[in-house]
Structures are given as C-alpha cells and as structure tokens.
Amino acid sequence: MGHDMSVPEAPNVDGPWDFDTFTLVCSRRARPDLKATFWALYEESFGPLRTRAAARQVLTESEFEAALDDPTTWKYVALDSHGVPAGLATLTDQVSTMPWISPEYFAHRYPDEAKRSAVFYIGVLLVRPDMRGHAVFARTVNCMAERVTAAQGVAAFDFCGYNDHDLGLGSATAKILSRDNAFEVSAVDVQTYYVARATGREARTDS
C-alpha cells in the first residue's frame, strides 16, 4: 500500500491575500509613503480618545511615522480594487518597541514564546470608512493570526475602556481569533484610574 509522502503546504504568512473587494499585502520594509494616506484617518479614528481615556492612547505624528519606518514591524496594507490603500494594521514580535507595554511582563508570563520571539503585539488597526463593510478588519486580523499560529506564539492587543466596552472592539477581535483561528483569548490585566476631588467641605474628624 502506498503512502502519501507529500509535504504539508506551508501557511501563507507573508501574503498577498486576494479577497473579493480588496487585496492585503504585508511587508516589514519601511513604508513612509503610507503616512500621507493614513495619518489623517488615524487622527480621525483615535484623536477623540484624548478626552475619552485617562491613559494616553494616541500616537504623535512622529511616533506614527516611526512605526511605519520600523523594520521590526509588519505593515499589513489593504488595497481596494483600484489599488488605493484602504486599511492598515501593524504587528511586531519585538514588544519592547511598544512604549506603553512592559516586555518583562510578557517574558515572565510566556517564557517559552518570549525566548523564541513568538510574543506578538498588534498595534494600529485602521480601515477607511467606505471600506468598513468589506470585512477588512476581520480579514486583516485573520492574516495576522496566521503568522502567530505558524510561530506557535501568542498575540497581545489592548483597548481602552471606551473602545472595549462602548464600541465592543475587544470582544469583536476576540471572537474573530477564537472562531476563525482556534485561539483561546482572555483578558490578562486592567488598570483603573481614580480621582479624588476636593469638595471644600470641612473634613470629618472621628470623635
């Protein structure tokens, strides 16, 4: 009896991926050309978080440009049927490049993955308004997940309370990862901000 000695096809982690209404491409090379296309959209999408989140959520223009130039960051770019950029996502396996993230936390919690540079972090994820009904968000998350799966790694991402609870982006992303990619998704940390406001009333003293 013969045996099938064929080698399993390697997963496509570098693209391109062709979908019905757009194509997704991926590269680690510097893409300063994307700033002109996406900075205004980034500011429109994330700018309101300056007053909706206590922690800083918005990159400066220079930080945004640096992310596009960073050779350790994969840039996933969705192109519409005319070849015009319609979506952008960033992914890195160097969490030390994320200024608000503690690399030591992930190295301690996922030591094996950290040793293999298999701890990934999803940074920016933007979709042009007219393309938001074309599954660009879900398809992009799925393609990033293919890279994480191929590395047997973990993917981390974060949302402020407004994006998580009010807009439901955290649960939507978790649903895509668990439904389409067999990931187990869980919240690992939270930070709560408190404010003590002086009332002007006389302080109560215990008798």
- At 4, the pLDDT band (50, 70, 90 cuts) reads low
Report pLDDT for 2. 57
155, burial (CB in 10 Å: exposed 0-12, middle 13-18, buried 19+): buried
Q: What mean pLDDT do residues 2-21 have?
A: 77
Report pLDDT for 1. 52
Q: CA–CA separation, 149 vs 183, rounded Å?
A: 9
Inform me whether the pLDDT recorded for 100 exceeds 90.
no
Q: What is the mean pLDDT of the chain?
A: 90
Classified by CATH at the fold level, domain 17-158 comes out as Aminopeptidase (3.40.630)
Rg (CA), the chain: 20
Inform me whether the pLDDT recorded for 168 exceeds 70.
yes
Q: CA–CA separation, 29 vs 3, rounded Å?
A: 42
What global pTM score does this model have? 0.87
Higher pLDDT, 181 or 68: 68
Higher pLDDT, 6 or 18: 18
Q: CA–CA separation, 177 vs 154, rounded Å?
A: 11
- At 8, the pLDDT band (50, 70, 90 cuts) reads low
- At 201, the pLDDT band (50, 70, 90 cuts) reads confident
Q: What mean pLDDT do residues 94-122 have?
A: 95
Nearest to 70 by CA among 100, 28, 98: 28
Report pLDDT for 134. 93
Inform me whether the pLDDT recorded for 175 exceeds 80.
yes
Interval 131-163: pLDDT, tens: 999 999 999 999 999 999 999 999 999 998 988
